[in-house]
C-alpha cells in the first residue's frame, strides 16, 4: 500500500507536487511520447543552431533536453537521447571544420549525460515513475508533520511543539505522536528520537511513528514502551534504535506518568515555587535488548505548572556532558517565566539550539 496523498502546505510545494503528479506517464504510450518529445527538442536545437546561429543557439543547447531526459526517461530511452545529443554536437563540429572542433562541448555533454543517467537508474531501481522521488519526499515530510500535531486540548491546557531537522532537511528522525481519548480526559503522547539524523532517519521515523500511533491508547500505558521495543526488535534494523519518552496525563486532575527509554529527562515547572525540576526516570533505549527495563515516575501538573520534553539534539554541546546542555536549557526556561509560556517552545529552541548538528524536537505543555 502506498503512502496517503498528502498535499504540501505552501504554494510553491503545492505547485511542484501537482506537477509531479500530472507529469507521470503511467503507460507505455506515455513513455514513448516522452522520448519523442525530448528527441524533438534535440532536433530543434540542431535546427536553431544551423539557421539562427551558434552564437544565439550553441550546440550545447542539447543539455536542456538531456536534463529533461534524466527526469522523464528510462535508462534505455535515455541512451537513445544521449546518442542523438552527441550527434548534434558532432554535426556542428563537422560543419565548422576540423580547425574549430570544441572538445569541451563533448566533456560538458558527457558530464550532463552521466548525471541524467544516474537519476534515471535511481528512479528505476526504486520503482518510481516520473517525479515520484520528489513527491515521495514531500509525502514523507507532510505525513510526519500531520502525525506530530498535538490534539486540541481542553480549556485551561496548552501545548506547543517545535521540530527542526539537522542541516535544514525537510524531515528527520525526531518525531511526536499524541492522542486525546474520546471523552477528552486523558492525553497520551510519546516523543521519539530515531538513531541517525536528517533524511537518513526519515523513513525509519515514518514507519515507527505509524506503529507507535497504533499502540497509543491501544495498550495499557505501563506496557507501551515494552510493546514499542518488541516492534523495533522485529524490524531487525541492525544499528537502528530509538530513545523515547512516554507521557500519560489525566486532564481533570493533572496527574501524570512519565516512562523513559534512554531519553533525556523531562523538566517540570512548579508554578507555586517558581522552580524547574528535572524528572529523571531511567530506562533502556528501544530496539537493543529483548528484556529491556523502563523507569517511570508519577507527578501532578497543578494550575500554572508546565512540563518540558525534548530530544538530545536540543541539549547536546560538543565535547561536554549532557548535564551542561540541560543546565543551559533550564537557564533559558527561567527566562520564559516573566513573559509567559505562549511562544515559549520556539524561543527555547532559538536560545539553546538554533543550528545544532542533530535533529531537534521540543514539547512545552502547561496549565493555566
pLDDT, tens digit, for every residue of 34-73?
A: 778 878 877 787 777 667 666 566 767 778 888 888 777 7
pLDDT for res 148: 67
> HSE of 86 in the Cβ direction (CA atoms, 13 Å)?
13
Measured distance CA(362)–CA(355) in Å, rounded: 14
Range of the domain at 119: 24-130
Looking at the fold, whether 180 and 49 belong to one and the same domain comes out as: no
Looking at the fold, whether 194 and 305 belong to one and the same domain comes out as: yes
Helix (H, G, I), strand (E, B) or coil at 77: helix
The winner for highest mean pLDDT among 18-27, 231-240, 276-285 is: 276-285
**Percent with pLDDT over 90 in the chain:** 35
337 touches 306 (CB < 8 A) = no
pLDDT for res 24: 43
What the block records as the C-alpha cell of 364 is: 512545552
pLDDT for res 4: 42
62 touches 88 (CB < 8 A) = yes
Looking at the fold, whether 122 and 171 belong to one and the same domain comes out as: no
Boundary-marking domain end, from 69, 99, 130 = 130
Domain contains 16: no
Domain harbouring 278, CATH code: 3.60.40.10
For range 124-136, the mean pLDDT: 58
Domain contains 135: no
Residue 133 pLDDT > 70 = no
pLDDT for res 67: 81
pLDDT for res 20: 46
Looking at the chain, list the stretches that DSSP marks H as alpha helix, in order from N- to C-terminal side.
11-22, 28-51, 63-72, 75-96, 103-125, 132-147, 198-215, 224-235, 312-315, 322-334, 344-352
pLDDT for res 229: 93
Looking at the fold, whether 62 and 200 belong to one and the same domain comes out as: no
90 touches 114 (CB < 8 A) = no
pLDDT for res 15: 47
Q: Which residue has the cell 574549430?
A: 100
Taking the CB of residue 359, how many other CB atoms lie within 10 A of it? 28
Taking alpha carbons only, the member of 157, 208, 210 closest to residue 187 is: 157
pLDDT for res 25: 42
pLDDT for res 43: 79
Residue 82 pLDDT > 80 = yes
pLDDT for res 227: 94
Domain contains 18: no
> HSE of 207 in the Cβ direction (CA atoms, 13 Å)?
15
Residues 6+ apart with CB under 8 A from 105: 59, 60, 89, 92, 93
Looking at the fold, whether 169 and 290 belong to one and the same domain comes out as: yes
> HSE of 338 in the Cβ direction (CA atoms, 13 Å)?
3
For range 116-138, the mean pLDDT: 66
Looking at the fold, whether 277 and 224 belong to one and the same domain comes out as: yes
Looking at the fold, whether 230 and 178 belong to one and the same domain comes out as: yes
- The model's pTM is 0.69
Taking alpha carbons only, the member of 267, 265, 266 closest to residue 334 is: 267
Domains in the chain, number:
2
Boundary-marking domain end, from 130, 156, 171 = 130
Domain contains 80: yes
For range 118-133, the mean pLDDT: 65
For range 82-102, the mean pLDDT: 69
Helix (H, G, I), strand (E, B) or coil at 240: coil
Residue 233 pLDDT > 80 = yes
Cα 147-152-153 angle, rounded to 5 deg: 125
Boundary-marking domain end, from 100, 130, 160 = 130
Looking at the fold, whether 177 and 321 belong to one and the same domain comes out as: yes
Domain contains 200: yes
Range with lowest mean pLDDT among 18-32, 51-65, 164-178, 186-200: 18-32
pLDDT for res 269: 97
119 touches 71 (CB < 8 A) = yes
pLDDT for res 119: 79
pLDDT for res 5: 45
Domain contains 6: no
Residue 201 pLDDT > 90 = no
* Confidence band of 192 (pLDDT split at 50, 70, 90): very high
pLDDT for res 21: 43
Measured distance CA(166)–CA(312) in Å, rounded: 12
Looking at the fold, whether 294 and 343 belong to one and the same domain comes out as: yes
Average model confidence (pLDDT) across the chain: 80
Amino acid at each position: 500500500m502506498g503512502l496517503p496523498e498528502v498535499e504540501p502546505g505552501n504554494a510553491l510545494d503545492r505547485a511542484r507536487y501537482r506537477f509531479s503528479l500530472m507529469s507521470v506517464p503511467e503507460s507505455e504510450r506515455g513513455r514513448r511520447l516522452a522520448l519523442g518529445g525530448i528527441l524533438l527538442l534535440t532536433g530543434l536545437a540542431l535546427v536553431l543552431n544551423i539557421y539562427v546561429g551558434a552564437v544565439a543557439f550553441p550546440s550545447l543547447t542539447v543539455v536542456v533536453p538531456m536534463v529533461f531526459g534524466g527526469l522523464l526517461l528510462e535508462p534505455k530511452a535515455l541512451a537513445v537521447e544521449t546518442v542523438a545529443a552527441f550527434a548534434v554536437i558532432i554535426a556542428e563540429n563537422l560543419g565548422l571544420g576540423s580547425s574549430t572542433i570544441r572538445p569541451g562541448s563533448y566533456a560538458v555533454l558527457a558530464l550532463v549525460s552521466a548525471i541524467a543517467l544516474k537519476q534515471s537508474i535511481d528512479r528505476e531501481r526504486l520503482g518510481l515513475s516520473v517525479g515520484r522521488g520528489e513527491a515521495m519526499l514531500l509525502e514523507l515530510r507532510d505525513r510526519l508533520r500531520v502525525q506530530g500535531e498535538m490534539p486540541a486540548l481542553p480549556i485551561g491546557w496548552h501545548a506547543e511543539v517545535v521540530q527542526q531537522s539537522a542541516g535544514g532537511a525537510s524531515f528527520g528522525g525526531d518525531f511526536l505522536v499524541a492522542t486525546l481519548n474520546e471523552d477528552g480526559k486523558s492525553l497520551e503522547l510519546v516523543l521519539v528520537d530515531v538513531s541517525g539524523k536528517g533524511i537518513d532517519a526519515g523513513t525509519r521515523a515514518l514507519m515507527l511513528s505509524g506503529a507507535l500511533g497504533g499502540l497509543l491508547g491501544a495498550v495499557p500505558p505501563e506496557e507501551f514502551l515494552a510493546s514499542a521495543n518488541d516492534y523495533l526488535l522485529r524490524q531487525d534494523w541492525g544499528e537502528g534504535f530509538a530513545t523515547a519518552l512516554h507521557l500519560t496525563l489525566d486532564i481533570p486532575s493533572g496527574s501524570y506518568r512519565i516512562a523513559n527509554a534512554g531519553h533525556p529527562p523531562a523538566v517540570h515547572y512548579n508554578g507555586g515555587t517558581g522552580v524547574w525540576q528535572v524528572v529523571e526516570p531511567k530506562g533502556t533505549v528501544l530496539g537493543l535488548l529483548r528484556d529491556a527495563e523502563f523507569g517511570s515516575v508519577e507527578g501532578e501538573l497543578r494550575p500554572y505548572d508546565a512540563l518540558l520534553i525534548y530530544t538530545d539534539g536540543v541539549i547536546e554541546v560538543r565535547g561536554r556532558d549532557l548535564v551542561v546542555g540541560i543546565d543551559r536549557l533550564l537557564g533559558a526556561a527561567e527566562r520564559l517565566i516573566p513573559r509567559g509560556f505562549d511562544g515559549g517552545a520556539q524561543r527555547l529552541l532559538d536560545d539553546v539550539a538554533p543550528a545544532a548538528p542533530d535533529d531537534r524536537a521540543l514539547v512545552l505543555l502547561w496549565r493555566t
